[in-house]
Chains A and B, each alone.
Chain A
Amino acid sequence: MAAAAPGDLALIAKRWKDKRGSLIMALHDLQGRFGYVPRDAAQELGKQLNVPLARIYEVITFYNYFKLEAPGKNIISVCMGTACYLKGAPEIVAKLSEKLGVKAGETTPDKQFHLQQVRCIGCCGLAPVVTVNEKVLAKVKAADVVDQVYACAKGA
């Protein structure tokens, strides 16, 4: 699963299951979480919402808003859920922002890193949490985050 922290796809699916017209909202959440709509995540979401993948692709290719490809080689997601927020997520974002030279929601010009803030990804016990692609960093400290992220990055 691309960049999925445990359970957090299930969280999105649960939020929107059995609600009318919820597919777009669920996909919105998915993109919010991953920076784009990864194919395997879309597949899993489809299974949980009982929506064929063909319908999902019809929707995500119809609206320009949805991205099908990762905006950067490494997706850094900083959880902004209450627990992470209180335990220093804003400082972590500030630190990464400063080092990478981009704001949250932006991609570095060399397309190596995409930095984003995401809604609660459902592992509050590990707060504050940062994910780099599929890797989950727990109890992150602002002072160490840059080194940790570089260590996780692929071929950067």
Chain B
Amino acid sequence: MTVKAIINGIPVEVAEGTSILDAAKKVSVKIPALCKHPDLDHTAACGICIVRIKATGRTLRACCTPLENGMEITTHDPEIVNVRRGIVEMIMSKHPNECVTCARNQNCELQTMCADFNIHTTDLDNIVPDLPVDATTKSIVLDPRKCISCGRCIQVCQKDQNVWALTFMERGIETRIAPAGDISMAESPCVKCGQCSAHCPTGAIVEYDEGPDVWAKLADPELHCVVQIAPAVRVAIGEAFGFKPGTNLTGKIYAALRRMGFKAVFDTNFGADLTILEEGSEFVERFAHGKGELPLITSCCPAWVDFMEKYHSDMIPHFSSCKSPHEMVGALSKTYYAEKIKTEAKKIYMVSVMPCTAKKYEIQRSDDMKSSGYQDVDVSITTRELARMIKQAGIDMQSIPEEQPDHLLGAYSGAGTIFGATGGVMEAAIRTALKLVTGQTPGRVDFEVTRGLKGVKEGVLEVAGKQVKIAVAHGLGNVEYVINKVREAKQKGEAPPWHFIEVMACPGGCVGGGGQPYGVTDELRLARAKGLYQEDQAGMWRCSHDNPYIQKLYDEYLGKPLSEKSHHLLHTHYNPRPQYQR
């Protein structure tokens, strides 16, 4: 069913239920929206999207009003624009005037509104609430003074992520975002996914910035600084430099990192390949040899691990003991690589560049993260932080020539690269599981059921004549369905509904990570993922086990997957954690 209406004199026809806000886009009319995010349900909190309905003369909010047949709508006239300006002025009257020192400077939806509406002076007093900054998670930083109460973060945290770390406390002008009660974020159930920061229109929630620390370490002559970049970083960072979303900048990023002073440039994709060898072997042990519980559940997303430890700790026996790929590379940089270059491990300083805020937490998650004898990854910065550092370093990403990684821990297969998209770990693991079970090169490497943005993807794949049932979930809100089914089957003593489950905390997987460039929508998630799948298709090796540097690593150092050395360096343990520390 469609409805026909007229917006600013232009006829428009849209599907029934389409909001006036979205319908207007169809006829090239941009109604300003501040609380509404294209990813999220409307909260109708700000009122800036008002439009006038001709028949009644009433104004309505475009974000939450569906277009109706025969409506005649005015979206812009001097009076409406004035009301909108008034709304922005009101918001600014309780907002700190700190744009130049704000992490969102030049990338803030509120700042853009102020610019668009020409808010230069105001008659209203500036009364900023006196609320403390909360940086206790060391992953995300809350500055509730900059909150405009749009409700996006709360919707994301409660509904999409099902974590319920954040809520609105008090009401009216006193309304503020906070965890439940007067506790810090670190004491709350927050899993550090950073999705709140990715959706906040202002600088009220941002990543915990560690760029300055990295610069200091790079300037220290005693240190041997090395770096690795995660799969999802390469197809997103370009957005900060004017490239089309999804453009793969791998070679340019390597070059930029070398210019910044890193002595070796590694790639987390190598770690992803290694994860597949370890986790694939773990799966085959459980699936083909009956050693350990099924389903096997992936563990490379630290926000998911934290969520599981807090909310579903009965799933611990199902969890892969594999560390996440960047932790593996970290551990190897201070052992295997350190030995190769004859440098003391303590002089190596490993920086991870991740799409992710939760990795900041993960690097200190437990003593297993010090398997080299030192903290395996010293610091984890987000894509956003690296983009800023590249700008500070005066590097022109458009023209800088591409370079190669340091192959020892930097060469990778297409299977490693697709880790950055939801379903990628599963697809990569299946490719190698086929090889491990049959001993033969898999005849098929593309498993489309794992791809795309459906919340839970289910499929049955054939491995050596046996059916492997898989499920892929992304966005923690989609996990409950999967886990409940596993739990139910277990309680009834039935066969598990799936044999292998992949979970990524962020919608879309790491391409939609909480530390990626701002403005994420499904369109952007798909564009970034496309960049990864293209690299996979074009790659020399499609399977992790074909990566010769992985083979070399096993030959020279680890022995074989799941060896004692592998277990020591590449695997970890899980423990139930309380949701609230207080």
Contact = CB atoms under 8 A, between A and B. Distances in A.
B181 A55 contact: no
A19 to B, nearest CB: 21
Interface in B160-182: 164-171, 179-181
B215 interface: no
B580 interface: yes
Given A39-B181, A61-B170, A68-B181, A54 B580 contact: no
B158 interface: yes
Interface in B202-221: none
Nearest to B162: A52
Contact of B169 (A39, A43, A52, A61): A61
A53 interface: yes
A39 to B, nearest CB: 6
B164 A58 contact: no
A63 to B, nearest CB: 9
Interface string A130-154: 0000000000000000000000000
Interface of B: 158, 164-171, 179-181, 579-580, 582
A62 interface: yes
A57 B164 contact: no
A28 to B, nearest CB: 18
A40 to B, nearest CB: 10
Q: Is the interface of B mostly helix, strand, loop or mixed?
A: loop
Among A57, A62, A68, the most chain B Cβ lie within 10 Å of the Cβ of A57
Interface residues of A, number: 12
A62 B180 contact: no
Interface string A47-75: 00000111111100110000010000000
Contacts of B171: 61-62
B164 A52 contact: yes
A95 B402 CA distance: 87
Contact of B165 (A54, A55, A62, A68): A54
A125 B181 CA distance: 36
Given A55-B164, A58-B168, 4 more contacts: A39-B181, A58-B167, A62-B170, A62-B171
Contacts of B164: 52-55
A49 B165 CA distance: 18
A146 B252 CA distance: 79
Given A39-B181, A43-B580, A68-B181, A54 B170 contact: no
Nearest to A68: B181
Interface in A86-120: none
Contacts of A62: 170-171
Given A39-B181, A68-B181, A55 B580 contact: no
A93 B579 CA distance: 40
Interface in A71-89: none
A28 B171 CA distance: 19
B35 to A, nearest CB: 18
Nearest to A58: B167
B169 A57 contact: yes
A61 B177 CA distance: 12
B170 A56 contact: no
A56 B582 CA distance: 15
A123 B381 CA distance: 57
